[in-house]
């Protein structure tokens, strides 16, 4: 009877598979180190601003200057800086380990032969990448709030429009910025996961993902290629600063979410198509 029951099982319990994947992701030393380094970014940034009184200058410097004596702007400023390089790098690293890393270590073959559907396997790996993306953004936001209140100081938030928000509304703006950035990083993770399904070399996944984002960033600065900007995932990344305006200008934020959703759908679909057709 036991043999019949075992043979009749077509899939492993989803909860057990998800728990095993999350345990693997969250216990990996370099993932933990990455979270620690991300937590240190707002501390370093806030300390430097508190000591120097804030930078002058134009562009990004104006955002950093707004942090001086205005601590709850710090987590948003840290997210703006981190999402250009550090956050995509961390997400790409986890996505590279998810499929390419498993393949490089010879464990992906066992997963493909295990009683877990291949679509479900991609879904479980995607959840692991998503959890790490959300954690990475949350760590920066939480560290930024604490650092802003303790080191930088300030009561509430002075917006870029010149109005002052109470601390409750200010924390809501920080949460909105963190959620928006998490969606963008989830989209990057989906694309990286699709690339991860095509190779056995994790470094190739990281190089391709980061290289693609750099190319997108460069293309977005060329006026002659303005027609291409709606197709680039990085086009609206600076829109996260709109949460610091009063009232919030939501058009660009919504457009950025829709674009990220398209990349998320395309990336996951490509990863599923590749894993389903992959030889065990």
What would the pLDDT profile of 191-225 be if each residue is shown by its tens digit?
Answer: 999 999 998 899 999 999 999 999 999 998 999 98
Residue 78 lies in a domain: yes
Of the candidates 273, 266, 275, 104, which has an alpha carbon nearest to the alpha carbon of residue 186? 266
| 56 found inside a domain | no
Say yes or no to pLDDT of 57 above 60: no
101: pLDDT strictly greater than 90: no
What number is the average pLDDT over the span 168-195?
Answer: 95
Between CA 156 and CA 187, with CA 74 as vertex, the angle to 5 degrees is 115
pLDDT for res 12: 64
- Residue-wise pLDDT for 147-173, tens only, equals 998 988 777 888 888 888 999 999 999
Tell whether the model's pLDDT for residue 70 goes beyond 90: no
Q: Is the pLDDT of residue 113 over 70?
A: no
Where in the sequence is the domain holding 160, given as residue range(s)?
14-49+61-277
What was the pLDDT predicted at 108? 59
**Does 1 fall in a domain?**
no
Predicted local confidence at residue 104, as pLDDT? 72
Number of domains in the chain: 1
Mean local confidence (pLDDT), 83-111: 82
For residue 2, being part of any structural domain is answered with no
What is the overall mean pLDDT for the chain?
A: 86
Dump pLDDT digits (tens) for 237-261: 989 999 998 888 888 999 999 999 9
Note whether residue 40 is domain-resident. yes
Report residue 30's pLDDT band, with 50, 70 and 90 as the boundaries. very high
pLDDT at 7: 42
Q: Is the pLDDT of residue 44 over 80?
A: yes
In sequence order, the 6+-apart residues with CB closer than 8 A to the CB of 49 are: 55, 64, 67, 68, 74, 152
- State the pLDDT at residue 256: 94
Q: What value does the mean pLDDT take over residues 71-85?
A: 92
Considering only residues 65 and 128, tell me which one the structure prediction assigns the higher pLDDT.
128
Q: Is residue 4 part of a domain?
A: no
Is residue 31, in this structure, part of any structural domain at all?
A: yes
Say whether pLDDT at 230 is over 80.
yes
Lowest mean pLDDT segment, chosen from 54-58, 135-139, 141-145: 54-58
Q: What's the whole-number mean pLDDT along residues 18-28?
A: 88
- pTM for this model (two decimals): 0.87
Q: Flag whether pLDDT at 229 surpasses 70.
A: yes
Tell me the pLDDT band of 5, cut-offs 50, 70 and 90: very low
In the predicted model, what is the mean pLDDT of residues 110-128? 76
Q: Residue 129 domain-assigned?
A: yes
**Cβ contact 63:241 at 8 Å:** yes
- What is the reported pLDDT for 66? 79
């Amino acid at each position: 009877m036991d043999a019949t029951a075992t043979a009749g099982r077509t899939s492993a319990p989803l909860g057990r598979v998800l728990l095993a994947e999350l345990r693997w992701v969250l216990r990996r030393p370099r993932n933990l180190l990455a979270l620690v380094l991300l937590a240190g970014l707002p501390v370093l940034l806030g300390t430097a601003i508190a000591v120097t009184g804030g930078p002058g200058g134009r562009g990004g410097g104006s955002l950093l200057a707004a942090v001086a004596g205005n601590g709850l702007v710090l987590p948003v400023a840290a997210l703006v800086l981190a999402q250009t390089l550090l956050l995509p790098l961390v997400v790409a690293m986890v996505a590279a380990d998810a499929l390419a890393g498993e393949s490089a270590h010879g464990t992906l073959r066992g997963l493909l032969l295990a009683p877990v559907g291949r679509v479900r396997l991609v879904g479980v790996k995607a959840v692991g990448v998503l959890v790490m993306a959300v954690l990475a953004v949350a760590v920066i936001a939480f560290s930024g709030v604490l650092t802003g209140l303790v080191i930088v100081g300030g009561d509430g938030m002075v917006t870029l429009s010149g109005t002052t928000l109470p601390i409750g509304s200010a924390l809501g703006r920080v949460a909105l910025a963190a959620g928006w950035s998490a969606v963008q990083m989830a989209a990057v993770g989906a694309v990286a996961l699709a690339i991860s399904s095509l190779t056995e070399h994790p470094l190739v996944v990281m190089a391709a993902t980061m290289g693609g984002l750099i190319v997108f960033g460069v293309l977005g600065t060329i006026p002659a290629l303005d027609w291409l900007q709606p197709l680039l995932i990085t086009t609206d990344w600076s829109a996260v600063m709109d949460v610091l305006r009063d009232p919030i200008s939501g058009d660009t934020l919504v457009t950025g979410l829709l674009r990220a959703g398209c990349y998320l759908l395309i990336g996951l679909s490509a990863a599923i198509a590749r894993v389903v057709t992959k030889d065990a």
